[in-house]
Amino acid sequence: MDRFDALLLEALQHNSRQTAETLSTKVGLSADACRKRLARLRKSGIIQAEVAQLDPLRVNRPLLLIVEVTLHNERKQELDHFKQQMQTAPEVMQCYYVTGNSDFVLMISARDMAEYEDFTRRHFFDQDNVLRFHTSVVMDRVKQGFSMPIAEFEI
């Protein structure tokens, strides 16, 4: 990865719908060179996904919850089972296996508290391996996104 790749990645993190022509003026390469570099960045896995960020209110999912989950034990089979459950649960926006006071941190969206309670019954209370969970309700989305600084290439 070089400076041009870093410039492309920086631009895409703020708007992934930019055309190669638009990107070419930002990074100083031809549109064709930008297309080739983007194809390489996608194929290599540096660009993992290009997603749409939705307005939770407009899609009737206004409740955002941060949930810390602690398991009874962390044997591979139980960890894999919990991970698989979280990967397939549509309410789970993000799931991280972490160090510290809990085993997992989840970002969950819900229509309301009744829907979240149903989620907890299915995925926490009905599971023998969930020891406890702690929920924080997001009051305001101050910053949201996945962009990362690409500082090492002196953009």
Say what the pTM is: 0.86
Question: What is the rounded average pLDDT of the residues 74-96?
Answer: 96
Q: 29 is in which domain, residue-wise?
A: 3-52
How many domains does the chain fold into? Answer: 2
> What is the domain-level CATH number for residue 92?
3.30.70.920
Residue 96, token pair as written in the block: 């991280």
The type of residue at 119 is F
Sign of CA dihedral 105, 107, 110, 113: positive
The type of residue at 121 is R
> What is the domain-level CATH number for residue 48?
1.10.10.10
26 and 68 part of one domain: no
Query: What would the pLDDT profile of 116-147 be if each residue is shown by its tens digit?
Result: 999 999 999 998 999 999 999 999 999 988 88
- Residue 13 to residue 11: CA distance in whole angstroms: 6
3-state SS record for 88-135: HCCCEEEEEECCCCCCEEEEEEECCHHHHHHHHHHHHHCCCCEEEEEE
In a domain, 151, yes or no: no
